[in-house]
Amino acid sequence: MNKTVSGNYFTSIIEFSKIDSTNNYMKENFMSLPNFSVVRADYQTMGRGQFTRTWESNEGENLLMSILLKDDLHFEYMDYINPIIIASLTDTLKEYGIASVFKYPNDIYVNGKKICGVLVETSIVNNQLNYIVVGIGLNVNQAEFENQNATSIRKLTTKKVVLKDVMNSLLNQINHHINLALTGHYEKITETYKTTYNKKNFNV
Q: What is the pLDDT of residues 166-201, one digit of tens each?
A: 999 999 999 999 988 888 888 888 887 778 876 554
What's the pTM value of the predicted model, to 2 decimals? 0.88
Q: Which of 30-39, 65-74, 75-84 has the highest mean pLDDT?
A: 30-39
- Does some domain include residue 8? no
Beta strands in 6-152 (DSSP E): 13-16, 38-41, 63-69, 101-103, 107-110, 113-125, 128-138
State the pLDDT at residue 203.
42
Number of structural domains in the chain: 1
Q: Kindly state whether residue 26 falls inside one of the protein's structural domains.
A: yes
Domain membership flag for residue 1:
no
Among 160, 123, 120, smallest CA distance to 139 is for: 160
Task: Check whether 55 has a pLDDT greater than 70.
Answer: no
Residue 39, classified by CB atoms within 10 Å of its CB into exposed (0-12), middle (13-18) or buried (19+), is buried
Q: Which range of residues forms the domain containing residue 166?
A: 13-198
**40 close to 65: Cβ distance less than 8 angstroms:** yes
Q: Which of 33-47, 63-77, 182-196 has the lowest mean pLDDT?
A: 182-196
The Cα–Cα gap between 156 and 23 comes to: 28
**Phi, psi (5° rounding) for residue 25?**
-60, -45
Sign of CA dihedral 37, 84, 135, 92: negative
Among positive and negative, which fits the CA dihedral 96, 98, 101, 106?
A: negative
Q: What is the 3-state secondary structure (H, E, C) of 67-78?
A: EEECCCCCHHHH
Q: How far does CA 80 lie from the centroid of its chain?
A: 14
Residue 48 lies in a domain: yes
Per-chain mean pLDDT for the chain: 88
pLDDT tens-digit map of 71-125: 888 777 788 899 999 999 999 999 999 999 988 888 999 999 999 999 999 999 8
Q: 33 in a domain, yes or no?
A: yes
Domain holding 190: CATH number? 3.30.930.10
